[in-house]
Amino acid sequence: MAGNDLTIYGVTTDGFVAYYDHVHSTIDVVSVNGGTPTQITATPGSNFAIFPQEQAVLVWTGLDGENVGSLLVWTNLDGVHALSTSSGAPNAVVDATSRYVMYENNVNETAATAAVYGALTDGSSATPLISGVAWPDDGIATVGNYAVLSYALAGAVTVSSYTLETWAATILTSSIVPGTTTVAGFDSAGTKALILNASNSLDIFPIASATPTLIAAGVTTATTGSSAILSTSGNTVFYAGGGGTTIDRSTTTTPSSTVLSNGTDLSLYAVSPNEATLLAYGGATPPSNVYFESASTFGGSPTVLTPATGFGGALYTNDSSHILYISNYSDTTGIGTLSSFSTSAGTSSTLSTTFATYSPYDSSKIVFTDNVVANTAEIKVLDTAGTAAPTVIATAVQSFTASSSVPTVGWGLATTGATTSIVYFGTAQGTRAAGIYVTPLP
């Protein structure tokens, strides 16, 4: 699709690109197969937010200084529908079927309260789930056939689950202990929730009931990374125990702790997809290192991947063979150094020193931006399982929003839902017109 100065905000799982048109000041979507764009709104205001989720796009327009404004939802099946005129961005979520949406509504900024609603993504059947909760402290998620909401109300911190469609509520846990109750994760089947409560005990809850299994007490509240991670199978929990002095593992069926490492001010960052290794953050006060270690046996002396100074994040390849991590990262420029670490060989290699964003795909491959100069970049792909250098698949790609008047920054590229193609805004180059392009990933 040709057009000047477009910023991409993502791609829905059914293949529609959500973008902001700087020339016409509109928010639009267009199919990755091409065709005529569809306008979501012609009046986004000077401050807005765009979040593609599943097969939907959530758009907040006219946001004020507290990020409260009007909320729209778009799907290819049902078009654009208004959900709220006073919703806090980005506090909304669409379920995996893209049929249901939960969102903040009736935000009262003076009283610092809000309501949470559930509705269909066609805008119908809007149902108030809870009102008068402390704003903006509520957390909203969907998993399986349920929506899960954590909120503060009447001096208590509560986590409740709601059956989608009927919105029938079940209170999982409620505590008047001062502090934060955190929903730390769900299993992939959508049947279990891992919750760290305000008294720092870690419990597994069946999402459909309020009968917990205690995993551990004295779990640290992470300032960086995670206090606990639930495996996708729902069978194993990894957590920072002993006030952050250990990284522990436990089963969820018969809880019993196994210490994996000792340290100071420890927290979790990630567990590999095969659950064989993990990344931990800490080692001192304040935290100073990012560690790689075994997720099954006592780690002894873990491998230090990168100092915490300038750490910009890390993730695993889908086959768990490599860790891609960012160092020397600048919050100002959004640029850092991208390195690849082999989990079997224990060695690192630098992929890019002018890197902006990346995504894993296939089993061992990644796609990333490199050579970022004046808000444009190259898109490269690399198979970490081989020895070949990264391959350039696109040049002169917009890497950041080109207009300082649009405060919500969008990326110039995104992978499609099946991660088989890369979508990007290409600037005018030779015979190529400026516009949105789609290139298959090798």
- Per-residue pLDDT band at 411 (split at 50, 70, 90): very low
Q: Clarify whether residues 143 and 210 are in a common domain.
A: no
Question: pLDDT, tens digit, for every residue of 234-246?
Answer: 999 999 888 888 8
Please give the tally of structural domains in the chain: 2
pLDDT tens column, 145-201: 999 998 888 888 889 999 999 999 999 988 765 556 788 889 998 999 999 887 788
Establish if 414 belongs to a structural domain.
no
Question: Residues near 251 by Cβ (< 8 Å), separated by ≥ 6?
Answer: 235, 236, 237
Structure tokens at 238: 């990894």
Q: Is residue 305 part of a domain?
A: yes
Edge-to-edge strands of the sheet including 156-163? Answer: 139-143, 146-153, 156-163, 169-175
* Closest to 227 in 3D by CA, of 262, 181, 189: 181
**220 part of a folded domain:** yes
Residue at 396 is within a domain: no
Question: How does pLDDT run across 190-230, given as a tens digit for each residue?
Answer: 999 999 887 788 999 999 887 889 999 888 877 677 889 99
Segment 15-38 mean pLDDT: 93
Question: Which of these three, 151, 176, 201, is where a domain ends?
Answer: 176
d(CA 398, CA 400): 6
pLDDT tens digits, one per residue of 344-402: 988 899 998 888 778 888 899 998 888 877 677 888 999 999 989 999 998 888 765 43
What number is the average pLDDT over the span 250-270? 87
Q: What is the pLDDT of residue 284?
A: 65
C-alpha to C-alpha distances, 59 to 177, 276, 401, 421, nearest whole angstrom: 36, 39, 17, 24
The chain-wide mean pLDDT, for the chain, equals 86
Is 80 among the domain residues? yes
What DSSP assignment string belongs to 244-291?
TTEEEEEESSS---EEEEE-SS-EEEEE-TTSSEEEEEESSSS--EEE
Selection from 351, 299, 303 nearest residue 327 by Cα: 351
The residues that bridge with 439 in the sheet, in sequence order, are: 422
Q: Which pLDDT tens digit goes with each residue over 303-334?
A: 888 776 788 889 999 999 999 998 888 877 77
> Considering only CA atoms, which of 85, 92, 91, 133 is closest in space to residue 112?
133
Answer yes or no: do 140 and 184 share one domain.
Answer: no
Domain containing residue 161: 54-176
For the chain, how far is it from start to end, CA to CA, in angstroms? 22
CB-CB contact of 279 with 291 (8 Å): yes
What is the model's pTM? 0.88
Last residue of one domain, picked from the residues 118, 149, 176:
176
Give tens-digit pLDDT for 44-89.
999 999 999 999 999 999 999 999 999 999 999 999 999 999 999 9
